Structure 1
Amino acid sequence: MYQAASTSCQQKLLLKFPQQTTLVDIWSAGIIFLSLLCRKHPVMRPGDDYEAIAQIAVIFGSEPIEQLARNNNSILLTSWNYPGFDMVKFVNAIRNEEIPRQGKYCYSCRNLFFDNHDGNCMCRISEEHSLMELARGNSHF
């Protein structure tokens, strides 16, 4: 299996679950696709498995990671709760090396995304609007 980055490991690998399926390959392909969209390789650079899980939770949301652990009879103890990033804004920010300016201040996004001193929100709660803008051709893709 080709890995686009060390975080191309599916969460089941990172959480050391014994049963793994071809979904691992689909996850890796998705991370490769994300790298291609962002025009950046690797998209994430974790230092270890724990940091990889945290980076995945920040980008895609912590609830799916916690649900995965519960579904596999495990408990993932964390001190964070992230909604995940709006993928359109995330890709544009990585690709264009600038965060879209907007009026909503987000303390979490300010601290989690490099060089976001203005606290521009990139949380998933605004993803529907970004997808509509993308469909209208108003994005930087």
Structure 2
Amino acid sequence: MKALFTVSAAQLALGLAGLRKALRDRTSYDVWKLKGDPRHAARDQWVMGTNLSAPGLMLILQGLATAGLLSDRWRRTAAKALAILGAIMSGGYPAEKSIRQAWRGKSPDKSLLPMTAAATALATLMAVLGRKDMNRLPKAG
């Protein structure tokens, strides 16, 4: 459980750093045929996210679930939520056009590669640890 808490907290920190950078640079999501307007990045980030972060609502849920790991009552539910969020996020980062470009070395911003690679790795680990902890803990009730 400590490992899941640590991984989730670190992944959340990278998600928030990505959100801050995307809002500062006014970059928006670009996934397949869905492309955001940089002028509306602050509004769109709540539901669609940015090119460097999950949607704001998912980040809030991740923060609540991470805190929920500290509660005996909510620990299993929190682990399940983090497993699901980690699985979604681990696919979300590579779905972004700008991140794929950064990973191929075709991005002018060299800071994107380590930040997004680490965030993706932590999201994947969060999914694995969340699933493991969820199955290990007894069901409530």
Does the alignment reach a TM-score above 0.5? no
**Greater RCO (CA < 8 Å, at least 6 residues apart):** 2
TM-score, normalising length: structure 2: 0.33
TM-score, normalising length: structure 1: 0.33
